[in-house]
Amino acid sequence: MPFTPFKLGALELPNRLVMAPMTRSRAYVEGIPSSLTALYYAQRASAGLIVTEGAQPSPAGKGYMNTPGLHTDEQVAGWREVTDAVHAAGGRIFAQIMHTGRIGHPDNTGALPVAPSAVRPATQIFTPNGMQDIPTPVELSTGKVEATIGDFVDAARRAVDAGFDGVELHGANGYLIHQFLSQNANLRDDRFGGSVDGRIRFAVEAARAVAEAIGASRVGIRLSPGTGAQEVVEDDAHEVYPALVSALSEIGLAYLHLIAGGSDELYERVRALWPNTLIVNDPSLADPADAASHWLGRGADLVSLGRAFLANPDLPLRLRLGASLNEPDFTTAFGGDHRGYTDYPTLALHPA
């Protein structure tokens, strides 16, 4: 079943294996992807779909060092080289738009991070000066929240200009959209906070605005229901996520990309409420074949894989043949050169 075709909007996917977004921190010059990045993604074009590492929609959306952006003409030109290379290799590629919110540091960005509320997560972040405590973020005014939605729209338009087949909004892992959903990171008393309807509003309005700008069939969203991350607390996940998914389902998005880890009951409720394509990523299942079999058997349409694609550019072929897999070198995961990036070996097939 992982190797059967699947139709995602206007795209014909040759298999049901998605390359998950993975931060690689190699955009060293003004957040512009390099030719090496183009090679990295083109090597993995046999995935049914590639979702890129997160690209910030604005300078304020940057949290980590050397991450790519989607807010300047130069960044668009860099991404165009990436999409051209992937398409030339026969692939399909979405850009993930990722605003990190309160997860950031002035040493990485030159400014304090921004967030739904001025609540500091008790965690650290890597900077040019080593690991440092994340500072208390600046609370976004209502006007700035609305302007941030505009940043997502602008980034989505730029992604289309760069040749991407679509975009994924990153609403998981404790970043900005997830922070708005959270009861401890979002203490607002305006229309973007308070009740469940208030806390889901940013995610819904951002998704709707992006869908109206580039077409709903080219927009996905990633969520991590009830998993918690980056000090996010979700004691009311069983109220928040059914409400959110119900509202998102009315927009007609291309897909919902879930990170597994919450309760089985919550997954079943979300699956029942979501009418379109469902992608599941399960970091707890190290074996990609097991992950694909498990989640496709539980109602997912596609399965996303991270570490396995990082180390195996030809992963679909390896899984189809039952071949051994390269192990990822995590010492080269973030930053560096071609080592641990574009030099993982592929199978050498010799005809009989």
- Contact at 8 Å (CB) between 319 and 288? yes
Nearest CA among 8, 11, 16 for reference residue 319: 16
| Cα gap 107→130, rounded to integer Å | 10
Question: Domain extents for the chain?
Answer: 6-332
- The tens digit of pLDDT for each residue in 206-227 reads 999 999 999 999 999 999 999 8
242-289: pLDDT as tens digits: 999 999 999 999 999 999 988 999 999 999 999 999 999 999 999 999
Q: Which of 40, 175, 255, 344 is catalytic?
A: 175
Return the pLDDT at 1: 77
175 as an active site residue: the answer is yes
C-alpha to C-alpha distance for 42 and 82, rounded to whole angstroms: 7
The pLDDT value recorded for residue 72 is 98
Give me the helices (H) in the chain, please. Answer: 35-43, 73-88, 106-109, 142-161, 176-181, 196-199, 201-214, 237-249, 264-273, 288-297, 307-311, 315-321
- Residue 348 has a pLDDT of 75
Mean residue pLDDT of the chain comes to: 96
Q: Note the pLDDT tens digit of each residue in 31-71.
A: 999 999 999 999 999 999 999 999 999 999 999 999 999 99
Q: Do 72 and 31 touch, CB atoms closer than 8 A?
A: yes
52 three-class SS = strand
The rounded distance, in Å, linking the Cα atoms of 293 and 299 is: 10
* CATH superfamily of the 6-332 domain: Aldolase class I (3.20.20.70)
Using CA of residue 306, residue 316, residue 254, residue 298, what is the dihedral sign? negative
- pLDDT tens, position by position, 227-253: 888 999 999 999 999 999 999 999 999
pLDDT of amino acid 228: 83
pLDDT at 350 over 60: no
Query: What are the tens digits of pLDDT across the range 154-174?
Result: 999 999 999 999 999 999 999
- Given a cut of 90, is residue 352 above it in pLDDT? no
Share of the chain residues as helix, strand and coil, in percent rounded to the nearest 5 = 35, 20, 45
Give the CA radius of gyration of the chain: 19
- pLDDT tens for each residue of 88-100: 999 999 999 999 9
What's the pTM?
0.96
Beta-bridge partners for 219:
167
pLDDT of 351 above 50: no
**pLDDT tens figures, 174-199:** 999 999 999 999 999 999 999 999 99
How many helices (H) and strands (E) in the chain?
Answer: 12, 14
Q: How far is CA 149 from the centre of its chain?
A: 17
Q: What is the pLDDT of residues 105-158, one digit of tens each?
A: 999 999 999 999 999 999 999 999 999 999 999 999 999 999 999 999 999 999
Three-state SS for 332? Answer: helix
> Looking at the predicted structure, is the pLDDT value of residue 349 above 90?
no
Contact between 271 and 279 (Cβ < 8 Å)? no
- Which tens digits make up the pLDDT trace of 296-346? 999 999 999 999 999 999 999 999 999 999 999 999 999 999 999 999 999
